[in-house]
């Protein structure tokens, strides 16, 4: 019995097999491209989100200020309130009152202008306070980052019982053994955990010392903060070593400031809370006091001007070009130029706005009115193109039916065609507004990068916008600007996503299929 001869693959079968293989490869390449794009987007969003997390919370210093300091709230100013705050701090840390450098370390934990919210609250009162005034003061950006563990972290370990404390000179002390064996173990424990370039603080009975040296069976200490315990035998009180994981030369906070912060935390004087100033304050040169309120309101005013200018002009231009304009060379040239303008770099529109609105018409710089007009020119071609596409998508039978029933050309367009094209026109307008919200370059050229310390109340007030604020904060040299910048990026992305979501919902709600 002979075996069947295998079928010979024809030329058509070979071509079909190759086409199928090519199609599968193309699908695979497309899926890989989409996967790579989604991966990069996810990495970007996660990176920004993680970076911005710390900006949504901050640490505040809590003080009860005596009411006697505020007998006349209406005449208070920043200096008066700062004097009251410093007096309260010195009453909490009286051991730091005699040395100017030590006092400066204490005062530097909170910026001078952190008292502004308390000052406004006191000035709004009709009478002098009768009870202590609770003050929540923003702490400096370096302190805030340190407390969040972003600069350095410290670890605390119990190292053994204390022996005898003796004073060597002003601020210098010697802690002797609490039993020779215990003290050797004490020093061995410190040596095992310490590392080069690392400062160590010693905590004893509510006081904090800096470990300067070990001498025989003694530790040489420098007092930093907290009441010094009575000299002599310490009755084997516990001694804790705080390893700062860095030395003061490579840290923005001194060892004394770290010691003060530790004592403040133990006393409940520091509180971590939601950073409301990020949304309520205007810009500031202090990262801990800066907020995006002026930029958010400025962006809203700018978008309002852009919408009022660009959307009606764009829609009516599209209606005329699509429905009424005669087909001529001039019309074709206008259409081609509109399409080309949509691809012109945005900075060119900034130059145009600066030349026309600032130099020719003499409008002020850095106001939402000018910014909105410039962005309106930028997105006008996009709105015209999207609106024409929406009008063109309406079947000609709608127009013919209206005209056949006796309607005029205008009635057919405005009563029948335009309502049917409205979802597409609205979607294009919202997407164009979203693009305008994210533009930076044209606004830089008209001066909206200026420092603005007040929240604008009208489109003619000096203001800035969110993309420009991102640019400004990102170029800041202090490390605290990094999470602040990431937080503003998240706010801007949230607004952009919301605008695009609205466009999608409107399209699905009113979309009609022919």
Q: Which residues contact 252 (CB under 8 A, 6 or more apart)?
A: 142, 146, 151
Q: Are the beta carbons of 70 and 129 closer than 8 angstroms?
A: yes
HEC assignment per residue over 318-387: HHHHHHHCCCCHHHHHHHHHHHHHCCCCHHHHHHHHHHHHHHHCCCCCCCHHHHHHHHHHHHHHHHHHHH
pLDDT for residue 373: 93
pLDDT for residue 398: 87
Q: Are the beta carbons of 384 and 321 closer than 8 angstroms?
A: yes
pLDDT for residue 60: 92
pLDDT for residue 320: 93
β-partners of residue 233 are: 164
Q: Which residues contact 63 (CB under 8 A, 6 or more apart)?
A: 85, 88, 89, 134, 135, 137, 269
Model pLDDT for residues 308-364, shown as the tens digit of each residue:
999 999 999 999 999 898 888 888 899 899 988 888 888 898 899 889 988 888 888
Residues of the chain with pLDDT under 70: 1-9, 150-153, 177-187, 189-190, 192-196, 216-217, 512-514
**Which DSSP helix (H) or strand (E) runs through 30?**
helix 11-53
Q: Report how far residue 444's alpha carbon sits from residue 346's, in angstroms, rounded to the nearest whole number.
A: 11
Burial of 256 (0-12, 13-18, 19+ CB in 10 A): buried
Q: Report how far residue 284's alpha carbon sits from residue 339's, in angstroms, rounded to the nearest whole number.
A: 42
Burial of 187 (0-12, 13-18, 19+ CB in 10 A): middle
pLDDT for residue 119: 87
pLDDT for residue 233: 80
pLDDT for residue 96: 87
Question: Number of helices and strands (H, E) in the chain?
Answer: 18, 11
């Amino acid at each position: 019995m002979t075996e069947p001869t295998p079928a010979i693959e024809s030329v058509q079968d070979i071509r079909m097999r190759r086409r199928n293989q090519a199609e599968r490869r193309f699908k695979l390449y497309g899926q890989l491209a989409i996967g790579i794009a989604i991966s990069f987007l996810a990495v970007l969003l996660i990176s920004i989100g993680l970076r911005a997390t710390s900006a949504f919370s901050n640490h505040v210093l809590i003080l009860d200020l005596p009411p006697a300091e505020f007998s006349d709230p209406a005449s208070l100013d920043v200096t008066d309130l700062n004097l009251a705050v410093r007096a309260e701090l010195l009453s909490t840390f009286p051991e730091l009152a005699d040395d100017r450098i030590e006092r400066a370390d204490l005062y530097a934990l909170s910026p001078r202008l952190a008292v502004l919210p308390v000052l406004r609250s006191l000035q709004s009162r009709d009478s002098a306070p009768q009870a202590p005034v609770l003050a929540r003061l923003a702490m400096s950006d370096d302190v805030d980052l340190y407390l969040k563990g972003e600069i350095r972290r410290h670890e605390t370990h119990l190292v053994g019982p204390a022996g005898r404390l003796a004073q060597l000179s002003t601020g210098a002390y010697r802690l002797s053994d609490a039993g020779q064996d215990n003290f050797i173990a004490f020093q061995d424990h410190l040596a095992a955990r310490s590392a080069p370039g690392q400062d160590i603080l010693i905590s004893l009975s509510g006081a904090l010392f800096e470990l300067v040296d070990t001498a025989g069976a003694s530790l040489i200490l420098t007092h930093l903060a907290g009441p010094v315990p009575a000299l002599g035998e310490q009755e084997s009180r516990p001694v804790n070593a705080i390893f700062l994981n860095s030395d003061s030369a490579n840290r923005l906070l001194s060892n004394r400031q770290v010691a003060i912060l530790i004592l403040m935390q133990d006393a409940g004087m520091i509180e971590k809370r939601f950073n409301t100033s990020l949304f309520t304050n205007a810009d500031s040169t202090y990262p801990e006091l800066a907020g995006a309120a002026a930029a958010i309101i400025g962006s809203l005013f700018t978008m309002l001007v852009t919408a009022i200018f660009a959307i009606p002009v764009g829609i009516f231009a599209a209606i005329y070009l699509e429905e009424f304009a005669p087909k001529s060379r001039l019309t074709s040239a206008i259409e081609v130029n509109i399409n080309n303008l949509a691809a012109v770099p945005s900075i060119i529109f900034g130059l145009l706005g600066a030349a026309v609105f600032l130099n020719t018409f003499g409008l002020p710089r850095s106001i939402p009115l000018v910014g909105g007009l410039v962005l309106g020119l930028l997105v006008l071609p996009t709105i015209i193109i999207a609106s024409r596409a929406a009008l063109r998508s309406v079947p000609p039978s709608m127009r013919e039916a209206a005209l056949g029933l006796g309607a005029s050309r205008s009635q057919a367009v405005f009563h029948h065609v335009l309502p049917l094209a409205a979802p597409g026109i609205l979607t294009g307008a919202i997407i164009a507004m979203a693009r305008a919200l994210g533009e930076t370059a044209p606004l830089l050229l008209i001066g909206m990068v200026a420092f603005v310390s007040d929240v604008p109340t009208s489109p003619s007030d000096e203001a800035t916008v969110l993309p420009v604020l991102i640019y400004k904060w990102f170029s800041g040299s202090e490390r605290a600007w990094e999470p602040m910048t990431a937080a503003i990026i998240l706010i801007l992305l949230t607004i952009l996503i919301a605008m695009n979501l609205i466009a999608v919902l409107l399209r699905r709600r009113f979309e009609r299929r022919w």
